[in-house]
Chains A and B, each alone.
Chain A
């Protein structure tokens, strides 16, 4: 806040008043939803068994208290916004058939809602820990190639050992734990991109002063773009994960443009996107099928278009004000009426029960997230932090836009999660880390960035081309 405040003063606990007020509102809203849901289920005024609700509200309060005690001077809107999304998620998970996901923890057998509460707790913990512990971003920016290598290694692991979920090879299983690494990968990728672009901005942005329009851009400019394009293609081909590929590529392109602010970059990126899309459409039946479903889901309402058509029925049933929590039909006789209603199609279920009004509120929450995140990015003290904050914001809100637009048949459906709302540990954990990073980057107490280093062009070259291999070798040895 105040640059004049002494160090000792800056470590003192500080009551985050606005956050407390907003969280109070969020708690009230979620509690109202809970009562509404329980009353609908019971057929009369009822509280149901409020233990999950109380646990959730406790978790939110705990995150707030920890941030306050640690004296965080960061944005006070982000946590309530994420909290409301998580609250809506919990309500929907309580409302859906509990048998959709069952996991054993020793003697303890948990169904959908308790599991989601565990993941929400994990997510809030990750957010709080990152926000409080990350006092310096030096280790993020200095080891960017290691992060990239780790990300690519993660990707390769999934390529080789991944298990199929709904036709996409997404899940990595280690012992009893299963996760979807592409969720974590998006964070690693953004850290790398922020580091790489911040270091090379000057070179990338200024290239036009040195090159005629017809000559090729310099290799360090072309290389990462082609690499990202390749990674996105590989994800589509090997993992069959169109959503992640689209997300990575879109976020990369936007960050690249923010760094260079050259429309030509966007144009080239869009051109590569079109080329990739056409080639993939021509070569791979699973890509073609997605497009055909998008164009006319009703043609195959009992086959390939089943999920999308049922999603649309849910939207239609919701209307403007919705059926009310618990009164819709996302689940019938213990079977979900829309396949993947708890993950990819959770938005349609919420839009059915909360109506267009609720759906627009959910969209507005992501817009608020975007606004707060980009505000933190603009206020950042150097390019790395700005790009990192922007990138972290983008992976959350662009992902939300991709899946919601897919659910509403505005673009072909690509199976990714709705951040903070869809069921799933990996997704909630990764988005929790993203939230934590934003809180940390927005904290005015973050140590001053290191002075820009004077790196010669030759060194840069070495940096760009050889560092990945060098780092990985060092790590392995």
Chain B
């Protein structure tokens, strides 16, 4: 405790007891920090970790457990667990037409779609009761599988799949006022019953995986497919233009209509139009440009909006990020994700060419936000979760973005009605008209270059006032929009208005 007496210069070193007290305090701080870190994982992040579809522990529990049912909006069973007789469960899918959004669950090949993203609920690993996750360990049955009710109506879904039969494409139908997905189809599709079949599943799944990407049946084109939109994007450009103030409903351009014959030269690239035989000497405003789908008008509008503002307004509509949805979604872009390199790219993007790549879901949202007069509801396909003890969690529709002023949206809505019902518009999108119901829409023909057939597009909604359904339809390499996608959109909307009067 004291220094060596014969070296007095050194003096006595300090006592160690006070230092030990500080060491103890430091240890308490360290352990406190560790405790805080554990709390982070076990409280704050616990739910995200537990419900992460990549969690192999969840998969292990899935292998043995019964899963809840997935039912459509009217309670029609889309997926259910049936006992195999040897103590385990297998999945049965009475309505394969609900694929691929429904997904599949197979102990051998994993899971996809809603079966994957709602695994925790279907398995009951996440409780509906308040504090239920805390109390679960006190219960005899640790898991309480929940039923998942969708907003999807299997009758409309069947219509959509039938319309697309034999073609490659996708259809998204959405209720504009709530964001509820009414139908979501993608073809070619697959039969989940064959994937979960213990005998034939391996061969079938291998065959599905073997197909080239463009023919893939496992890919959900509606949420993950990225397509050149062509003229249906003009609706988004109109939203950006009116919203940013770059255009007004009365905007006309000086060189019209002569320029429509010669083309509009942007930095050496000539934007062309083909509607002058019909429009003749007429000068087009916004409604006219949408009705006859004038490329030059929108190219000029795009240049007036400017790249920065176009992207910013695109972002408000959902472009540039994955749309928050119940299954994973691909990112739609106006600029290919790397900015507009020059005026040519911007001008072409404004009417849906160059590097615009969009998902059908994104285009359905554009139609939906015009239908809902500027308000974009968060899209969702799961309406309700129900546990066996009668607890219900309803997913309340919520506003995702307020994109546009209602008056400006009204302008676009009426222009889209003119595109379906107007004297000139009828030639392009008249086939979308729901008999007896005011209908709005916009057709598109996405040029792909080379000698590939263009993609055929349609987006629209009906009725024009208080719309009950908005749709996006794409038929891959379907030729001109008016030929294939437009009548499909019309029939789909008509079917829904009949089903849900």
Contacts and interface: CB of A to CB of B under 8 A. Distances in A.
Given A261-B19, A321-B137, A314 B57 contact: yes
A320 B24 contact: no
A329 B13 contact: no
A367 interface: yes
Nearest to A202: B3
Contacts of A333: 60
B20 A317 contact: no
Given A363-B34, A401-B31, A316 B10 contact: no
Q: Secondary structure at chain B's binding surface: helix, strand, loop or mixed?
A: helix
A356 B13 contact: no
A18 B39 CA distance: 32
B49 A317 contact: yes
Contacts of A386: 16-17, 20
A202 B46 CA distance: 52
Contacts of A301: 54
A204 B57 CA distance: 54
Contacts of A351: 38, 42
Contact of B34 (A201, A204, A408): A408
A318 to B, nearest CB: 6
A258 interface: yes
B407 interface: no
B5 A454 contact: yes
Contacts of A383: 1, 16
Interface residues of A, number: 67
Contacts of B3: 201-202, 206
Contacts of B47: 316
B48 interface: yes
Given A202-B3, A257-B19, A454-B4, A360 B57 contact: no
B50 A316 contact: yes
Given A206-B10, A454-B4, A408 B20 contact: no
Contacts of A378: 16-17, 20-21
Contact of A206 (B13, B34, B41, B137): B13
Contacts of B33: 410
Contacts of B21: 374, 378
10 pairs of A and B residues whose beta carbons are closest in the complex: A316-B49, A202-B3, A356-B42, A324-B137, A378-B17, A315-B41, A205-B13, A206-B10, A332-B60, A410-B37
Interface of B: 1-7, 9-14, 16-17, 19-21, 23-24, 27-28, 30-31, 33-35, 37-39, 41-43, 45-50, 52, 54-57, 60-61, 133-137, 142
20 contacts: A205-B13, A258-B19, A260-B13, A301-B54, A310-B57, A312-B41, A313-B50, A313-B52, A315-B49, A316-B52, A317-B57, A320-B42, A333-B60, A351-B38, A356-B39, A370-B24, A378-B21, A383-B1, A390-B20, A456-B6
Given A206-B9, A312-B45, A405-B34, 14 more contacts: A209-B9, A314-B57, A315-B49, A316-B41, A317-B57, A318-B42, A319-B43, A351-B42, A355-B42, A356-B42, A356-B43, A363-B31, A366-B31, A390-B23
